[in-house]
Structure 1
Amino acid sequence: MKLESRLQALRGLMAERNYDALIIPRADEHLGEYIPEHNERLRWVSGFTGSAGMVIVLSGQAAIFVDGRYTVQVRQQVPSDLFQYHHLRDEPPLEWLAQSQAAGTRVAVDPRLHNLQWYRQAQTLLGAAGISLCPDTDNLVDHCWLDRPAPKVEPALLLDESYSGESSSSKRHRIGETLVQSAADAALIFAPDSVSWLLNVRGRDVPCMPVLQSRALLWSDGSLDLFVHPGRVPEGMNSHCGADVRVHPADAADTFLTELGGKRVLADPVTANAWSQLLLEQGGASLVPAADPVLLPKACKNPVEIAGARAAHIRDAVAVINFLVWLDAEQSAGRRHDEATLADQLLAMRSSGRHFQGGSFDTISAAGSNAAMCHYNHNNTVPATLPDNSVYLVDSGGQYIDGTTDITRTVAIGDPGADIRHMFTLVLKGHIALDQARFPKGTTGTHLDVLARQFLWSEGFDYDHGTGHGVGVFLSVHEGPQSISKAWSGVPLQPGMILSNEPGYYRDGAFGIRCENLVTVVEVPGPLETPMYGFDVLTLVPFDRRLLDVSLLTADEIRWLDDYHRLVADTLTPLLEGPEGAWLERATQPLA
């Protein structure tokens, strides 16, 4: 069915149900970043494959809203004769609706696909304009999507305590004690990665994200009711989790939530969907709005998890270096591969590593001007061949049983020229400044973000994405609540958190640059008058010295780069032989 026919089918069903508008987010019932194929509703209606966006279908027009990462991509994928293009932040969809539609307009929305905070805001903002928000869990897209794929259902993986570092029982009782302090009887644990961490299980049904598609109710005594498809429950689940974990079919959750009258249930208005919380209210439960109580404990990794992450990053570095050695050899031989071949080659090299479970996200394999789209995906177009005298940006990662990796390296192809070297060096200077940061307890990522941007800002440049995101351990590669961004974060950085350090620069139609390592927050050794935290690097792959304008680097920055490359060489030399070992020796030679 063509996009025009899909819109016509939706409009026909909208007319039958007396709706004037339909909101379709890039989300599913679990509100996760990675969505199973059968829930890619926004892609089905628009053709857009980005990781964030929203479509609003009206009786006579349609509009798509994306953020700055996708302003180029959306015009390539979504036909302008069917959709208007809008910026998700500069022209918020709800404000656009309120300003463009008349009073009396009826707007259909599936409350399972939005969090409660958004839902309340929509009610308020649209209501003030005389527009009705109409909840409808009988999803209109699902009725029109006639060839919708069947859901993937596989048994989950039980994660041994030698990888998790703490039993499920210990985690549940530890967090249950915080519920007592909040005067809550229970907490709605909605995010699949929170449920997975809490139970020490990992799922196999969502691309790149090993989470168990489920939701749960954690009680203050540490017991838990889990709602999950029976086909996802592996053999041995009861003995693995403990007798105080009660397993129910996924479709029993709605009824269960309506039978908690009189209970005080903590629920996160940001991470839990509106529908679950509306059911709790309808059943007479009192909502205690608060952050998911699993988020912060999950973000602060224990020593076993940090050790696992380090081990995973060493294996991952070997795979990435093997790839870079192969790429240099292919360039020297005059062979120019396309983006898809390069991504496949990197995946194959990772796949041979111990504990490898798959990619942690779709590899961004971007040649030349495609790298200007910071979330480019070669699978959405005809893969480009590496151009002469430019750069290749490869942002990739792996899921391992003991850790999750995410690394970006920008690679010289031929002679990129002085302009690209200048911009690469500005980006790397920002990366170095953030890596060297020392900060007191209570500092958030927002306080530190300017460190990574300062050298670009000084010359009138910037980048339209965050500088750092949290990363899980064999879980989500984009984990909260920690982040480093211009957008305000009230969450202080704490020891054990893993974050990315990834400033970049993107020139539309020309090239893109990003320098990304993962780091963990650590206590800086004292004695110090004011105790300080800092970052300790996990990623161990050389930066491409061919892209440096050394004249822009200070002596301290050169010392940082030499020290980093010495650490890479000392760690990986015993693991690399022959051409790979020789390449590593050259790539890590000191500048000073």
Structure 2
Amino acid sequence: MTFANRVNALRSLLHEKNIHAYIITSSDPHMSEYVPDRWSTRQWLSGFTGSAGTLVVTQEKAGLWTDSRYFLQAETQLAGSGIKLFRMGTAGTPTQNEWLSDELPIKPNVGFDGTCFSVAQTRELKHKLGDLGINIEEEFDLVNEIWENRPELPTKPIYDHEVCYSGQTRYSKLLNIRKQMEEFECNFHFVGSLDDVAWIFNIRGNDVDYNPLALAYAIIGVESATLYLNEGQISNELIQKLAEDEIYIADYTRVFNDLSEIAGSSNVLLDSNRTNLNIFNSISANIIERENPSQLLKSLKNEVEIEGMKNAMKKDGVALTHFYYWLEENIDKTKITEFTVMDKLKEFRSLQKDFKGESFGTIAGYKDHGAHPHYSTTPESNVEIKRESLLLIDSGAQYLDGTTDITRTIPLGELNEEEKTDFTLVLKGMIQLALAKFPRGTRGCNLDILARQALWKSGKDYGHGTGHGVGCFMNVHEGPQSIRQEIKDQALLPGMITSDEPGFYREGFYGIRHENLILCCPEKTTQFGEFLNFETITLCHFETKGIITKLLTPEEREWLNNYHEKVYEIISPELDDKHKNWLKEKTKTI
């Protein structure tokens, strides 16, 4: 079926079941960013492959809401589907709930798959559409009725993430979580988000693209815990190791039954943003709603994790040096396309020790494709790369000891003054954030201006956040911290690793983004309190031929020269003479 036919098939079911609107999110039962194929429902229906977006189908119309990262991509992928694109955050664009308020009759029936809709999302929907007398139909997985040959649940092995990488035993992590359960007077803690489950229990898997996670739920009691997963995915050896810490295994689908049997007088701690509605409705006990304690705990990297992340950056830096050398030597000598770039990056990284895969789908945006912040190359869009204009490459890797995420924008030919100016202004923003010194308690929204100020002074800006948390052999996008304009209460704390990635995009021409990962560290304590700073841990050169040096302040030039000196010092011992000499030239003082 075409995408238009799929939407029409769903619409026929809406008429049949008297449902006025059906909502399809990007999520799975665990509220994940990247989902197993079985739950790529929105993509299957609409053709839109971005990681963020919500599809709403009524009996007459259909719309997809996504943010500025995906405007150009969504416009292309939705063509011919009959689905209207709604550009979130732009003037005059209604939210999906505002649109539904206008489109739906009084007392409408609004449906969704309750296993893929969070408690928080449901409450917002009821609040926004309350005046209509909305009736929620959460039991219907309507797409399942029209999706022939829908993928089954994953079956790949689950494995132990050893303490030499995690730096903390699962027993110790459970103790810390139980302390917070006690503080909230809770007998049980339900955990549904896959990264929280993986971190708490020191397990990893291959059930989700890019993130080393296993499909699982968990219920933590005051003395024991139960992991709900596909029992065929876990070895007897690991089952025995878990049992030593009073952690037991049950079938993935049994979690609903076990939650329903918790005594009504008990208190269950859960995170309503990370718990699906059907799970929530199966609990008859008292529910205490708080952010999962593991969200903050896992963001505060311990010494072993920090050392592992730095080691992963070193390996990644070696792979990237080989890649960029290869690119420079071979462009115009052999046909290189965006797909070639993606394949070669993975090839060079795969030669590094403990490489486990990419941490997200590589963005290789040549010329105007780089203006799509989250561009995804397709067979139709794939173009040959030549020695002209700009190439934006945003990529990352998963190693057993850490996760990487890096963006470099490469001038492939002579740049004009406008291109060099934009290149330099974005770099100035990245450096200014890396140089930040701030008092403990500072939030990411307080620092976001540092990355934008140079652009703002020129009347320019970018439409995405500046920084996201990064896990340690975990999700490349991790909370609870972030650096963006929107207010978020979580302060930046020592041990947190966050991206530093301002950008600038000229639609139809090029995109520029520079990205390193930064580690929050103690700076000093004065009479005014404790101050923190950032240590840049990514190790890869910047192409200085794109820089207008006079636009850099002396402090910014010093930072860049010191950074390049560090890159060469750490990476060069791992290189042969050919690559070492090349890197020496790339990192010379400006």
**TM-score of the two chains, using structure 1 as the length reference:** 0.96
Matched, 1:398 2:397: yes
Amino acid across the alignment from 1:196: A
- Residue 367 of structure 1 contacts residue 387 of structure 1 at CA under 8 Å; is this kept in 2? no
Q: Give CA-to-partner distance per residue, 1:487-522, whole Å, 9 cap, x none.
A: 111001111111100000011111000000011111
What is the aligned partner in structure 1 of residue 31 from structure 2?
Answer: 31
1:330-409 matches, within 5 Å, as: 330-331=330-331, 333-379=332-378, 381-409=380-408
Between 1:122-131 and 1:422-431, the stretch displaced more is 122-131
**Larger deviation: 106-115 or 298-307?**
106-115
Range with greater deviation from structure 2 (430-439 or 259-268): 259-268
Q: Report the alpha carbon displacement of residue 98 of structure 1 after superposing the two structures with TM.
A: 1.2
CA contact (8 A) 2:190 2:219 kept: yes
8 A Cα contact 2:171 2:245, kept in partner = no
SS of alignment partner, residue 557 of structure 1: helix
Which residue type is aligned with residue 17 of structure 1? K
Deviations 1:370-400 (A, max 9, x none): 0000000113643111244210010000000
Moved >6 Å (runs of 4+): none
CA distance in 2, matches of 1:380, 1:157: 35
What is the match of residue 478 of structure 2?
479
Q: Which deviates the most, 240-249 or 321-330?
A: 240-249
Distance in 1 (alpha carbons) for counterparts of 2:376 and 2:18: 38
Shift of 1:178: 1.1
Deviations for 1:417-441, whole angstroms, at most 9, x for unmatched residues? Answer: 2111100100010001100001111
Contact 2:364 2:377 in 1 (8 A): yes
Give the conservation status (yes or no) of the 8 Å contact 1:389–1:417.
no
Residue 527 and residue 125 in structure 1: after superposition, are their counterparts in 2 closer, same or farther (change >3 A)?
closer
TM-aligned CA distance change 1:294 to 1:494, over 3 Å: same
Query: 1:2 matched to which residue of 2?
Result: 2
**Matching residue's letter, 1:239:** Q
What SS class does the counterpart of residue 236 from structure 2 fall into? coil
* 1:270 aligned partner: 273
Verify the 8 A CA contact 2:568 2:587 in the aligned structure 1.
yes
1:111 aligned onto 2:114: yes
CA deviations 1:28-83 (Å, max 9, x no partner) are 11111111122110011100000011111111221111111111111111125611
Using the alignment, how far apart are the partners of 1:123 and 1:106 within structure 2? 12
Per-residue CA distance 1:328-347 (angstroms, 9 max, x = gap)? 1113x544511001110110
- Does the residue aligned with 1:374 lie in a helix, a strand or coil? coil
Q: Distance in 2 between matches of 1:440 and 1:101?
A: 49
Query: Is the 1:466–1:485 Cα contact (8 Å) retained in structure 2?
Result: yes
* Aligned counterpart, 1:513: 512
Counterpart of 2:491 in structure 1 is 492
Count of matched residue positions in the alignment of Structure 1 and Structure 2: 585
Other-structure match for 2:229: 228
Shift of 1:243: 4.3
Q: Is the 8 A contact 1:208 1:359 kept in 2?
A: yes
Q: CA deviation at 1:126?
A: 1.5
Question: Whole-Å Cα distance in 1 between the matches of residues 217 and 476 of structure 2?
Answer: 20
What per-residue deviation string (whole Å, max 9, x for no partner) do you get for residues 446-500 of structure 1? 1100100011111111111110000001000000101101111100111111110
Contact 1:368-1:387 within 8 A present in 2 as well:
no
- Quote the offset at 1:525 in angstroms: 4.3
Match of 2:292 in 1: 292
Distance 1:528 1:413 in 2: 50
- Residues in 2 aligned to 1:6 and 1:83: alpha-carbon distance in whole angstroms: 11
Aligned pairs (5 A) from 1:88-487? 88-89=88-89, 90-136=93-139, 138-221=140-223, 223-241=224-242, 242-260=244-262, 261-280=264-283, 283=284, 285-331=285-331, 333-379=332-378, 381-487=380-486
Between the aligned partners of 1:489 and 1:68, the Cα distance in structure 2 is 20
Structure 2 Cα separation of the partners of residues 194 and 248 of structure 1 = 18
CA-to-partner distance for each residue in 1:191-217, whole Å, 9 max, x for gaps?
Answer: 111000111110111110001111111
Cα contact 1:319–1:353 (8 A) shared by 2:
yes
1:558 maps to which residue? 557
RMSD: 1.4
CA distance in 1, matches of 2:81, 2:309: 48
Q: Deviations over 1:181-234 (max 9, x none)?
A: 11111211111110001111101111100011111111234x211111112223
* Maintained 8 Å contact 1:102/1:131: no
Q: Please give the alpha-carbon distance, in whole angstroms, between the structure 2 residues aligned to 1:381 and 1:36.
A: 25
Name which of structure 1's ranges 123-132 and 506-515 shifts more when overlaid on structure 2. Answer: 123-132
1:237, CA displacement in angstroms?
A: 1.9
Normalising by structure 2, we get a TM-score of 0.97
CA contact (8 A) 2:500 2:515 kept: yes
Classify the secondary structure of the residue corresponding to 2:293. coil
Are the aligned partners of 2:20 and 2:104 in contact in 1 as well (CA < 8 Å)?
Answer: no
Q: Per the alignment, in what secondary structure is the counterpart of residue 482 of structure 1?
A: strand
Letter in 2 for 1:25: T
After superposition, give the CA deviation of every residue in 1:92-127 in whole Å (9 maximum; x if it has no partner).
211210122221321111121121111111112212
Structure 1 residues 243 and 553, CA gap change in structure 2 (3 angstroms): closer
Counterpart Cα distance in 1 of 2:141 and 2:579: 53
CA distance in 2, matches of 1:299, 1:48: 31
Against the structure 1 CA distance between its residues 590 and 151, is the aligned structure 2 distance closer, same or farther, given a 3 Å change threshold?
same
Contact 2:159 2:238 in 1 (8 A): no
Q: Tell me how far 1:11 sits from its aligned partner.
A: 1.8
One-letter code aligned to 1:234:
S
Query: Which residue number in structure 1 is paired with residue 49 of structure 2?
Result: 49
- What amino acid is aligned across from residue 88 of structure 1 in structure 2? M
Quick one: distance in 1 between partners of 2:82 and 2:180? 50
Q: How does 1:562-581 map to 2 (within 5 A)?
A: 562-581=561-580
- 428-437 or 570-579, which deviates more: 570-579
Identity %: 35
The residue type paired with residue 273 of structure 1 is N
Residues 300 and 496, structure 2, Cα contact 8 Å, conserved in 1: yes
Give the Cα separation in 2 of the matches to 1:581 and 1:225: 51
Q: Distance in 1 between matches of 2:364 and 2:241?
A: 39
Deviation at 1:561, TM superposition (A): 0.4
Alpha-carbon deviation of 1:238?
A: 2.8
Larger deviation: 435-444 or 85-94? 85-94
Aligned amino acid, residue 53 of structure 1: G
Q: Which runs of 5+ in 2 are unaligned?
A: none
Equivalent residues of 1:268, 1:289 under 8 A apart: yes
Distance 1:268 1:380, change over 3 A: farther
Shift of 1:529: 4.8
Give, as a single letter, the amino acid of the residue that structure 2 aligns with 1:127: G
CA distance in 2, matches of 1:302, 1:502: 24
1: CA distance between counterparts of 2:462 and 2:335? Answer: 29
Moved more, 202-211 or 521-530: 521-530
In structure 2, the partner of 1:536 is 535
Contact map agreement 2:430 2:502 (CA 8 A) in 1: yes
